[in-house]
Structure 1
Amino acid sequence: MSQFEKKLAEMGVTLPEAPAPAANYVPYVQAGDMLYVSGQIAKDGDTLLTGKLGHDMDVEAGAAAAKVCAIALLAQVKAACGGDLDRLVRVVKLTGFVNSTADFTQQPAVINGASDFIGDALGDAGKHARAAVSAPSLPFGVAVEIDGVFQIR
């Protein structure tokens, strides 16, 4: 078990199998030591975490959905690294999309659910640049989608 997975286990998190793509794209692309992971939607097991922030979902529930996205991102990184999450050098950037109403302005607080989780799980390797933006809708009505750029060895 990798050092990162030991920390995740201490946090009560076991990485699932990396989710399969839902359309005609690949889950990740490696270019040199950079790994670009496709957007991961808020899906916990078979349950889609749906809702619109500012309408029928609060910030706390949105942040929980963002954490689910972060777990899926790490599952993709593990798959890209042949099962060895210790090949992860650092999280470079996350881009978070929040399904929200036009007047909702707390997208950063929602995406903090992913950023805080990544920071807690990965320490210094989890410090990353980030964008948090509103979207009028997301695939399948999910509340959050996040993609990421990672450096691996």
Structure 2
Amino acid sequence: MKNKLIANVGETVTIKERLSSLLVAGIFSLGCIFAPSIISNYIISFTYPDVISFNRLETFILAIIPASAVYFLMFFHLSITGKNYLAKFKPILIYSLRLTAFLLVVAFIFNWHFTTVLDQHGYGTCWKRSLYSETVYIKDAEECKKRGSEVLRKPRSAY
């Protein structure tokens, strides 16, 4: 029994599949679009200002950029040409997925290390507005009140 993907290599795809692949390419491009702003926020955080808003999900978004870029190219190529040559992207995809797996491990370690360093620098935290919102690390407990939130953990300077 032949693999269905390999059996269909080079065949033209329908307009519905082309539009679907263009939509998927747009979704994968979002990670690449948001990456510069996420990186600039992290660069500011490394100077340890008085208030640091930190979202752990952002590091994982940065970690999946290699795979997202390859998937974007694959599906954009499919939507433009209309030919199913996705098997030709397989070697590049394998290396990008390995790099993405490594970067996910690095992102996990970075999240743990960065929050530990913030705790060592005496930062406190405010209550999060929701489960998915960013964690606000503060040096002064008054910052939480300015933001309309309660102090979850007092900064070390407030003890």
The TM-score normalised by the length of structure 1 is 0.27
Question: Which one has more relative contact order, counting CA pairs under 8 Å at least 6 apart?
Answer: 1
The structure with the larger Rg is 2
Structure holding more strand per residue: 1
